[in-house]
Structure 1
Amino acid sequence: MAFLNKYLELDEITDVKNFFLGKGTVKEYKKNDFFVRQGQKHDHAGFIREGGFRYLGSTSKGKEQIIGYSFENDFVVDYGSFQSHKRAIVDIQAIRSSVVLCVSHDELNEFYQHHIKNIRGQLAETLFEDIYGRLVSLYCDSPKERYLKLLAQYPGILDLITLREIASFIKVEPETLSRIRKKLLLAENS
């Protein structure tokens, strides 16, 4: 199975999922509801049973920029802000009706302490590796290469989000993505 977020491939992640499934409080979000808003403090993390969320940042000109996604069977949290007790640096918004199992910061950290102490370090390392890879790709890969890497890493993504959102995620204008897709289609048909 392909995962958009690489930490889902960690061996111990099943134990964390089971903790959320057993202890989490069910919360429902309608499309466009926010799990957390930029600037808010939040003390909960969630496991998505149904639905999905996008992570949004803002440019200096106020334009929304999609910086990440979490889908079914994934976690939803502004992890750095959550762990450091700081205000959220992103908005996390439902992309469709979603059901999330939420646990508090204290509950999750107690679980880490008593069950799988090493998972926190593994999560941090994997998140860093993923973010670093995205940064290198942003600087070194062409828009076409970023698009193809996204499709290779997560083949089903075209069924989950719009092309406009994919364009935002790979940092191109929608028109640029349309041209890329058209050229790929023409090359495929020739």
Structure 2
Amino acid sequence: MPQQALLVMDVQRTIVERYADASYVTALADTVRAARAAGVPVVYVVVDFRPGYPEISPRNKMFGGLPARSAGARPDNGVHPGVAPQEGDPVVVKRRVSAFAGSDLELLLRAMEVDHLVLSGIATSGVVLSTLRQAADLDYRVTVLSDRCVDADPLVHDVLLTRVFPTQAEVTPADSWQRTL
């Protein structure tokens, strides 16, 4: 039976430190609890690379400088403890911006018979935008939780949520989505 899944994307320690505050993590944790209570699977997506960053080309504008900036020990960049996965929650590792790029997300979703993705994460102009576009191209129904996405640029965040995303997804506050569960 097809179903929806909540994707919690790039809500990792170092990313939260750069883009969000404690209220975002607390609100997202409430949404994760509501999804679990309604039987909606929660899938975590994290960006990570092997030691030495062999997946990163120096031509990659977003990630190309990472190996040079990260000389020495790699930081612990797991899912933020405020929204940590529970035992049995899938954690998908991606190698690029989209949750689908360099990951087994599509295979996992097919096996779970998921046909509707509910997106949350950091950043709206990064993982949320890229994942939404690819999910729409793969014929998933998509909902974006407008208040469970964060971006460094409030104007870009607003334009994406009000003008770009509605062409391919339903955009709604988390409490509205939770009332439908």
TM-score (norm: length of structure 2): 0.29
Structure with a larger share of its residues in helix? 1
- Max Rg structure: 1
